Structure 1
Amino acid sequence: MYQVFVNDKPIILTTKVEEENGFKNYLLSKVNIGKVIKELNSTSLKEVRLIGDIESKLLKKFLKLLPNVIAGGGKVYNESGHILFIYRNDKWDLPKGKTEGKETIETTAIREVKEETGVTGLKITKPLPTTYHIFKRNGKHKIKITYWFEMKTSFNGKLYPQEKEGITKVNWLSQDESIEALKNSYANIKLLL
């Protein structure tokens, strides 16, 4: 099963058909994705389930429905065990961004964290789950595929929010502060924490 978010409502990719209760089922092979996005954005529907035949092919089929944007990001810990958060569009988020040229996804993730926060000395410790969300740019819907990595750093310098990217704050948050920040964050970020 995969979850692709439209704002904070999930499109669930699954092979199981269940009776509709607060959600709608559609066949993945016949779905009008524009209609599904509009429905999630304009109704009280909590989720949509796209039903496919073969579990291993669900994501591949779904990703063909819209253009893909590849991004990398980091859940960064400092030596105190605090997590690096950015504040953008009135929500707490983790630093991430699109790949450039032929760079590896790991290079993208480290570069984006550094650019958006000013933090250096980043070391990837392990990969985290990949997240998927649909966004609209220039009137067209796209799927952002974000490859996440847990990172560590001993950086203790000044944090610099990348204002040209709309970031207004960068903070190291403790476990309790992180839980509080998640109340004003995105569903896919909650999956990582």
Structure 2
Amino acid sequence: MKTYRIYINDNTLIIADKLPEQTETIQMVEEKGFNFKTFYEKLGKLSATPYAIVTEDPKTLFRTIRKSLTIIKASGGLVSNAKGEYLFIFRNKKWDLPKGKVEKGEGMKEAGLREVEEECGVKINSNNERLCKTYHVYEMNGKLVLKRTNWYSMTVKGVPRLIPQKEEGITKAEWLSAADLKPVLKNTYPSIVDVLKAGKLIREKV
């Protein structure tokens, strides 16, 4: 099944060739005549609702939506240490993973490594395979922006001390085991949950 998830504030737009199985009620959206900007404007800013468009060709519909938006590329990492713990940051009153915008002339993988090292004061030992991509839509200077973030699996040697980059609004950086993720899952972004699923830290709901 080919599925795209676009996160808009606390809402999710799922584009898929069949309806995903999940516990929440999904609001169906008609594919015919769909206009993303109109859809965005009608969304309640505070309602955490999953919406879905079921289409025979999710890739083409997603590309059509993407063309109507301004694209920003970002990259980040799910970093593990020698004890099998994972690096989390606390920023804007939510748990997050280190990430940032790709600079001109920079590769996605290279950008993810640089952002992690800058935001947490660590030296990355290995920057492995890409785990997933996430998509987040927001307004910037009156335009709708689609931020596409590539997430990579990374490692460090030993258990280095973390230095949160305060000027980037990061108030904490911590190593957490997979068993200690309950506070994170209660207070993080849906896109981060997707990264944790891709990294097999949490299981998909059956």
Contact 1:121/1:155 (<8 A) preserved: no
Identify the match of residue 54 of structure 1 among 29, 54, 57: 57
Contact 1:135/1:143 (<8 A) preserved: yes
Deviates more, 1:61-70 or 1:81-90: 61-70
Q: Which residue of 1 aligns with 2:30?
A: 26
Identify the match of residue 101 of structure 1 among 104, 119, 127: 104
Q: Which residue of 2 aligns with 1:8?
A: 10
**Aligned Cα root-mean-square deviation (Å):** 2.2
Structure 1 Cα separation of the partners of residues 35 and 48 of structure 2:
16
Structure 2 Cα separation of the partners of residues 50 and 68 of structure 1:
22
Residues 114-144 of structure 1 deviation map (CA, whole Å, 9 limit, x = unaligned)? 0111111331122101111112223322111
Q: How far is 1:43 from its partner?
A: 6.6
Identify the match of residue 182 of structure 2 among 174, 179, 183: 179
Structure 1 Cα separation of the partners of residues 28 and 48 of structure 2:
8
Structure 2 Cα separation of the partners of residues 46 and 3 of structure 1:
13
Instruction: Using structure 2 for the length normalisation, give the TM-score.
Output: 0.82
Residues 15-38 of structure 1 deviation map (CA, whole Å, 9 limit, x = unaligned)? 458xxx6514132x7333233223
Q: How far is 1:155 from its partner?
A: 4.9
Trace 1:80-95 onto structure 2 (pairs within 5 A): 80-95=83-98
Q: Which amino acid aligns with 2:37?
A: G
* Partner secondary structure for residue 137 of structure 2: strand
Structure 1 Cα separation of the partners of residues 179 and 111 of structure 2:
29
Question: Is structure 2 residue 125 aligned with structure 1 residue 116?
Answer: no
Residues 156-184 of structure 1 deviation map (CA, whole Å, 9 limit, x = unaligned)? 33311112211111111111222331210
Contact 1:71/1:144 (<8 A) preserved: yes
Structure 2 Cα separation of the partners of residues 24 and 136 of structure 1:
24
Q: How far is 1:13 from its partner?
A: 1.3
* Partner secondary structure for residue 151 of structure 2: strand
Identify the match of residue 152 of structure 1 among 152, 155, 170: 155
Q: Which amino acid aligns with 2:127?
A: I
Q: How far is 1:57 from its partner?
A: 1.9
Trace 1:133-148 onto structure 2 (pairs within 5 A): 133-148=136-151
Contact 2:10/2:46 (<8 A) preserved: no
Contact 2:9/2:45 (<8 A) preserved: no
Contact 1:14/1:58 (<8 A) preserved: no
Q: How far is 1:112 from its partner?
A: 0.5
Any unmatched runs of 5+ in structure 1? none
Instruction: Using structure 1 for the length normalisation, give the TM-score.
Output: 0.87
Identify the match of residue 75 of structure 2 among 54, 59, 72: 72
Identical amino acids, percent of aligned pairs: 35
- Change over 3 Å in CA distance of 1:44–1:135 after alignment to 2: closer
Question: Is structure 2 residue 39 aligned with structure 1 residue 36?
Answer: yes
Contact 1:120/1:155 (<8 A) preserved: no
Any unmatched runs of 5+ in structure 2? 20-24, 197-206
